[in-house]
Copies of this chain bind each other. A is one copy, B any other.
Amino acid sequence: MHKPNIRRILYKYLEPGGWPGLGLSPVNIFISTLIVASVMVAILETEPTLRDNYLPFFIHIETLFFVVFAIEYGLRVYAVGEQPMYRGVIGRLRYMVSFVALIDLVVLASFLLTLGVFSTYWMRLVKVLRLLRIARLGRFSKAMSAFSHALKERSYELVFSCVIAVSLLLGSSAILYFVEGDNQEAFASVPRALWWSVATLTTVGYGDVTPITSVGKIFAGVTALAGVGLIAMPTGILAAAFSDAFQEQRKRDAAQLKMTKQNIAKKKS
C-alpha cells in the first residue's frame, strides 16, 4: 500500500490540476523559475560573443537543466497514472504523445541533439527549440485558459476583423502594384507589395519601401489612414475579451477559495 501514496503525493505536487489550493505547488514554483532561467540562458547562448567567452559555463548549466528537467519529466509520466485515463503502460504512452508532453520531449531531445550537430544551420534550430520551454509555463496558467475561452466567444468578431484586414492588405497592395509596379522592384508584384502594405497598415512603417510617384503617395496616405481603423477594431474586441476573461477568472478564484475554506472547516469539525 506504499507505492500508490508516493504516486499520489508526486501527482499532487507535480500536476498543476492536482494541487488543492490556489496558485502553484512549491515544486511547480521551483520548476517555473528554472524554466525562466533556462530560457534566459538559451537566449544568451545564441549570442556568439558570449558563447565564445563563456563556453564551459553554458555547457555546465545546460547539462544541469537537462538533468533536472529529465528527472521531472520521468516523475511526471509516473505520477500521471493517478488519472484513470493515463493508467498502465499504454496510458503512459497515450500521455507521452499528448501535445504538452511532446513539447517537453522535443525540448529534452534538443539537448542531446546539440552533441551530434555540427552544421550551424541545424545548430540554430536546436537552440531555438530550447526556447520552447517557455511554452510549458502556459500549462501552469489558469489565466491563459480563461483568456482563450473569452477569445473563443468573440471568434466571430475576430474572424470578421481579420477578413477586413486581409481585404485592406490585398486591396492596397493591388493598387500600389498597379501604380508603382513600373517604378520600383519592391512593387513589381502583389506579394512583394504586401510587405509594404503590412508595414503601413499596422503603422509600423519601416521606411525601407515607400512609394515615389505622386499617385502612389496619395494611395499610400489613404492606406495609412485606413490603418488607424484597422488598429481600432481588434483593440475594441480584445480589450472587451480581456476584461471579460479576468472578471470570470476572479469569480472562479473567489469560488474556489470559498470551497477550500469550507473543506478545511469541515475537516476541523
The interface of chain A, by Cβ under 8 A from chain B, is 39, 42-44, 46-48, 120-121, 124-125, 128, 131, 134, 137, 141, 143, 147, 156-157, 160-161, 163, 165, 167, 170-171, 174-175, 177-178, 181-182, 188-192, 194-195, 198-200, 202-208, 210, 217, 220-221, 224-225, 227-240, 242-243, 246, 249-250
Contacts and interface: CB of A to CB of B under 8 A. Distances in A.
A232 to B, nearest CB: 4
A116 to B, nearest CB: 19
Contact of A233 (B44, B128, B238, B250): B238
The quantity of this chain's copies bound in the complex is 4
A157 B246 contact: yes
A124 B193 CA distance: 13
Contacts of A217: 195
Contacts of A160: 141, 143, 147, 246
B124 A181 contact: yes
A203 B227 CA distance: 10
Contacts of A221: 194-195, 198-199
Nearest to A42: B190
